[in-house]
Amino acid sequence: MKKIIKFEKEDCAPCNMVSEYLNMKGVQYITVNPFDQPEMAMKYKVRSVPTVIVEHQDEILHRIIGFKPEELQKALAV
């Protein structure tokens, strides 16, 4: 099963747009603030928010930086 991790900050407008998109699609995801959990941000090499990681069996299948609905749709369809 795919695991979806969304790195975000609370005051980030594009982050909110990604959340709204994922919620609209009924996608379950884990939300991580890279400033509160820097070790997780380092593990996934996250340098900006929003970043969405789609992972399967500890392998990163997709990394989407910013609000890109077309890329999100493709990543979630796989």
47-60 residue pLDDT tens: 999 999 999 999 99
Q: How many CB atoms lie within 10 A of CB 17?
A: 14
CA distances from 41 to 4, 38, 45 (A): 14, 5, 6
**Domain segments of the chain as ranges:** 2-77
Position 78 scores a pLDDT of 60
Position 1 scores a pLDDT of 81
Q: How high is the mean pLDDT of the chain?
A: 95
Name the DSSP class of 56: E
Question: CATH for 2-77?
Answer: 3.40.30.10
**pTM score, whole prediction:** 0.93
